[in-house]
Homo-oligomer: A and B are copies of this chain.
Amino acid sequence: MDIFDSLKFDTNGLIAAIAQDIQTGQVLMIAYMNKETLAETLQTGIMVYWSRSRKKRWLKGETSGNVQTVKEVYRDCDGDALLFKVQQKGVACHEGYKSCFSRMLVDNTWKIVSDKNGPAANQ
């Protein structure tokens, strides 16, 4: 696909991928994709990342069932980052929060501001 021509993969062959809830606008997580997992994501419509820590393909929600369905895809101006607007099944964070960005800087400490049973308190 020639849409890859305008993308820049880093020296590790990766590109940043931000997942945003299409309904609430909440930023859910950021992870990385290589060409293969990006191609799979675009073909299947389900978010598949490349795990930098495990060094392997990472189908988000493969074990938890909390898959992310792709609704819209954007690239940034210099082509080194992607933004996916997704429909999140269940929660995005392995800690049980809707978003991985559940800790807010408050009085010089990281404070949990998400509710495990609902959206972040600030949403």
How far, in whole Å, are A1 and B108 apart by their CA atoms in the complex?
Answer: 8
Q: Is the interface of A mostly helix, strand, loop or mixed?
A: mixed
Q: What is the interface residue range for chain A against chain B?
A: 35 or more
27 A-B residue pairs with Cβ-Cβ distance under 8 Å, sorted by A, are A2-B108, A3-B105, A3-B109, A3-B110, A6-B110, A16-B16, A16-B30, A18-B18, A18-B30, A24-B25, A25-B26, A27-B27, A27-B83, A30-B30, A30-B81, A42-B105, A72-B122, A74-B102, A74-B103, A74-B113, A75-B101, A75-B110, A76-B100, A76-B101, A77-B95, A77-B97, A77-B103
Which 3 pairs between the two chains have the least Cβ-Cβ distance? A25-B25, A73-B105, A74-B101
